[in-house]
Amino acid sequence: MRHIIDLCDLTEKEFSDLYKLVSNIIDRPEGYVDACRGKVLGSLFYEPSTRTNLSFSTAMMRLGGSVVGFSDPNATSASKGETLKDTINMVSSYADMIVMRNPREGAAKVASMYSSVPVINAGDGGHLHPTQTLADMITILRMRGSADDMKIGLCGDLKYGRTVHSLLHFLQRYHNVQFYLIAPDALKLPDYMVKFLKDNNMPFCEVDSIDEVLPELDVLYMTRIQRERFVTAEEYTNLEGNYQLTAEKMKRAKKDMLVLHPLPRVDEIAQDVDDDPRAVYFRQARFGMFGRMALLLTLSKLPFERAGHHEIGADPGIRCSNHKCITRSELYVPLHGKVGDRCPYCDAALEMQL
């Protein structure tokens, strides 16, 4: 592994080595105070994300390394019309590793093509966010010992919830996992994800309130429902209760059930749940930081390799159908294939160039 675009890029071996390292760091953090001494992380946040940004920066600093970069899109040369290619070329000539958050889908893949140093995807639009999935997995493995043989409920916005899709993709690796998809009709898991579950024989059922399944669950993965997703305020208010966790409801859950949440939460988890030992979402954030330490440490050992040659531009007549795709704004990015093929950057379908 050289770049981390999607957590599923890691082989089972690579992931288990990574998890071993994470465990070591959690158990003996003092042993890593100088592990990245003299190394510099380039942190490029094209959209604000305090949480992810702080987590990566702290991780690098706890390894004795330093961080440079920006957290504000307006402060970037991009605003001077610079291409992503040039920015990455510049930063990878300064820094030893790059972490990038970018609103355009597929941006991380493109950055990795032009970087002389390892690139970590800290979120490319609604596409992928591998280190969130890493935080989720570490929490489950660390608190349960294993991700096999469990009943996991995924609650909230399953339609747009990027973290839920990534987690489902990764859990495909584990055995005897049953999925409870808890969402209102308007926010049900999209067809292509349902197809993914079926194709991989991952047993699931769809329900429309937490209460129905709460007593069954070993893990409850909560996500935020954004009011904007609903047609009317009433519609929201009517449904809200079904997807909200409270201390009262927790009484019916297993004694050792885990409640996870990618954070930030708004009111889908009531304040009175926080003091429940089963509520591990804040520890999950801390595990995420340790996971990022392990990633940074692993990648920091890779050599500087001047990025190779890439031919330029798209095949005539072809473009990605996703208007948020990086190939729509960075026109030099090579794009090959025929209508209906998947975009190699954002996974949407290719279409006819008008």
> Which spans of this chain sit near a copy of itself (rule: CB under 8 A)?
30, 33, 37-38, 40, 42, 48, 50-51, 54-55, 57-58, 61-62, 64, 66, 68-72, 74-77, 79-83, 85-87, 89-91, 93-95, 263-266, 271-272, 274-275, 282-283, 285-286, 289, 309, 312, 332
| CA distance between the termini of the chain | 38
Q: Is 264 assigned to a binding site?
A: yes
Q: Which is nearer to a copy of itself, 312 or 352 (CB)?
A: 312
SS3 97: strand
Q: Is 50 assigned to a binding site?
A: no
SS3 18: helix
Q: Which is nearer to a copy of itself, 33 or 205 (CB)?
A: 33
We find the least distance from the C-beta atom of residue 207 to a copy of itself, in angstroms, to be 27
Q: Which is nearer to a copy of itself, 33 or 352 (CB)?
A: 33
Q: Which is nearer to a copy of itself, 100 or 289 (CB)?
A: 289
Q: Which is nearer to a copy of itself, 127 or 224 (CB)?
A: 224
Contact assessment for residue 31 and residue 148, using Cβ atoms and an 8 Å cutoff: no
Q: Is 62 assigned to a binding site?
A: no
We find the least distance from the C-beta atom of residue 111 to a copy of itself, in angstroms, to be 15
Q: Is 263 assigned to a binding site?
A: yes
Q: Is 298 exposed, middle or buried (0-12, 13-18, 19+ CB in 10 A)?
A: middle
We find the least distance from the C-beta atom of residue 200 to a copy of itself, in angstroms, to be 33
Residues 6+ apart with CB under 8 A from 315: 335, 336, 337
Cis amide linkage into residue 130, ω under 30° from 0: no
Structure tokens at 271: 């304040």
H or E, element range at 179? strand 177-182
Residues 6+ apart with CB under 8 A from 20: none
We find the least distance from the C-beta atom of residue 68 to a copy of itself, in angstroms, to be 4
Point out the residues that are catalytic. Answer: 51-52, 80, 101, 129
SS3 11: coil
Q: Which is nearer to a copy of itself, 56 or 179 (CB)?
A: 56
Q: Is 101 assigned to a binding site?
A: yes
CB burial of 229-239 (b: ≥16 within 10 Å; e: otherwise) equals ebeeeeebeeb
We find the least distance from the C-beta atom of residue 106 to a copy of itself, in angstroms, to be 18
Q: Is 28 assigned to a binding site?
A: no
Rounded Cα distance between 58 and 161, Å, is 26
100 forms bridges with which residues in the sheet? 44, 121
Q: Is 52 assigned to a binding site?
A: yes
The region, left, alpha or beta by phi > 0 then psi within -120 to 50, assigned to residue 77 is alpha
* Binding-site annotation, residues: 51-52, 80, 101, 129, 132, 162, 224, 263-264
Annotated binding site for L-aspartate: 80, 162, 224
Annotated binding site for carbamoyl phosphate: 51-52, 101, 129, 132, 263-264
